Structure 1
Amino acid sequence: MIPAPADRVLVDCAVYDGVGDGVTTDRGIWIDRTGEIRAVGTSDDVLSEARGATVVDMAGAYVMPGLTNMHVHLGLGLPGGMAEAVQRANLAELVLLMADSARQTLHSGVTTVRLVGETRYADFALRKAIDAGAVDGPRIYTAGHALCCTGGHGWDADALEADGADGFRRAVRQQLRAGADLIKVCISGGIAGEHEQIDTPQLTDGEMAAVLEIAHDWGRKVTAHAGPADTIVRAVELGLDCVEHGYELTDDLTRVMAERGVWYVPTITVSRCEQFFIDSGVPGWMMDRALSAGPRHWESLQHALRNGVPIALGSDMPPHAPYDETTATVRELEFMVEAGMPVADALRAATVRPAEWLGAADRIGTIQAGRQADLIALRDDPTRGVSALRTLHLVMKAGRVYRDDTGLTAPRGRR
């Protein structure tokens, strides 16, 4: 991390602000000592306001809001060697493992993450350390432990087991007590559970209703790991806020989701990331299940796109993980566009739309006065194609530079 001066002005930026569809050239961005954006305008206008600030010439670089990844496990432990490493780690080792993933995530241009299942409450300690500036990492919103029934999806990884309505009420309250920003519940089977199938229903209506009741009473949203349409329909009718994966969505279901404002985080990469599974040493049964789910998963995404379901970016793979000569985060966006999402919508799905779901649109997700200076710089224009994100060379969070490949922000004498 490069320490930030009192105030700085980025000049000669080509800005995609997350509000409009295009890029505006010759923009200046005034960032104050707190890491907040004070003003955005022409370079000359901003310079005339920010007298005495350090000037950083961005040399025409494309600047856009930092990315938000809405489906992240910093302590990911897939079946096989990854799970064994996490399970063998003591709490200190686990936090260090997660801190390393957090640092790499931030360097990949992801300045905010939504954690949807960690273990031993290590995520809360890491969030506190990042907020205090002791550790480099993205801004964290976390669900704490995911919740599942006894033997349900994730029971042997990060999920907390419960049974019956009262059991799930208690489990929700335990996450709220720890400081959870949202609640994650597993309502069906999935790819990584050996003794289940994707379409295995795992919660009763009474259990789902209990989770939703307590979370909503406390002002928290609920997102659900879910595969089959019939299980998701029941949860949507009960008031679910968001669906993760949705491997088997239907046209009718996505129409209902759109009408009720239920969000979708497709994680389309997880059913087409064969090399990642090979490199991670996952067992054959998991790889076969994931890849065989791919065609139906793709149809689910297309149903959601066609019917106007609100969609946010989430990779499930580590945000920084190498994938087709880029990162899992960028590849997820490329897949979304390949499935039919307009480029402008894809960019919003990675910036302002997640901020809306998180209730943080007044702080992050756009380049506007009053927002945090979470910025990334690219060589290419992202509004012409999301693959421009492959040209990322600078990452800033709250006004501090965490990556600068070309030395744009270095003091003049050190360039």
Structure 2
Amino acid sequence: MSAETSPSAPYDALVLLSFGGPEGPDDVVPFLENVTRGRGIPRERLVEVGEHYFAFGGRSPINDQNKELLAALRAELDARGLDGLPLVWGNRNWDPYLTDTLREAHEAGARRVLVLTTSAYASYSGCRQYREDVAASLIALAGEGRALRADKVRHYFNAPGFLDANTDAVLAALDELDDDVRAGAHLVFTTHSIPTGMAEAAGPGGGAYVAQHEAVRAEVVRRVAERTGVEHPSALVYCSRSGPPSQPWLEPDVNDHLEAVSAEGAPSAVVAPIGFISDHMEVKYDLDTEAAETAEGLGLPVARAATAGVHAAFVRSLVDLVVERAAAEHGEAPQRVAVGPLGPSHDVCPVGCCRNLRTPDKPAACGADWTDPAVTAPGGGA
């Protein structure tokens, strides 16, 4: 199939861009130094935070999960006739680093790539910071004489397959509870807490991070009630808070919420990590360890729902978005599918979207607010 007729045109490669994680104990502190570079966090504090990783042998599960997602995406791309589209993987904070991945893609002939991040929602840390890393890589490669353009797949929190995966996960978790406590189970939807200032700046008009999560919560609750005939009480709560106590972050914390619903007489709960697409450290430690201990201490039966992972419907939706964006770029008007009241997200991030509150002028690729001819292919900005 020629580049002109391929459903992936005009893209020469698809890049899975993720956070990264340590592969062993010796990697933990260097990895955390990468994550926190420029924030002035002392090494002894990083060692303390690293205990979360050391408790799991110093190895994050995220890399293996990305490999599984890569394999699932490859199979779905091939099944759609996109076997000629290279699929590569790069990380923000650990090997394989994004710059190295893009350099290798350029050496293989890529001049325009589409980036798929392992983050479904809008926020600085979930979108803009990834775009800043893309810009930094493009600038570095431009300094080597390698011109490359990058676009980004739109937010997929309300993609049908993401909602299918999370609905199936909640239903499966409910089935794990004993019959006598299942009907009254509280559905506790969790995501990563962020500073309230970052939440207020998320999206073009602000507030998108919370609004998007609430839309997912409402849709999954509706679907569960439709499938089971039971309307379960639910709430959106947060985990993985960090930063100084003086800085306000999104609340309530999942542990505080479990204590509250237990005090109110809840017979059981399902913890559903809708803010994450795979079971990485924030899920394994904050939910499977800390929150599980809280529930046990309360005598509250809790089942933890799975993340989207490589659920077949989720993988199909991701490839749908790749095909959709490619079609739009070569002049077609594809159907932009999204579930719920918020509709499909923008393809190109608007000026000021998910603002960087610390360094507002830092370049961020894949948006209308940054175009650098030195690092983009002829014909348009990154």
TM over 0.5: no
Q: Which has the higher strand share?
A: 1
Instruction: Tell me the TM-score normalised to structure 2 length.
Output: 0.29
Q: Which has the higher helix share?
A: 2
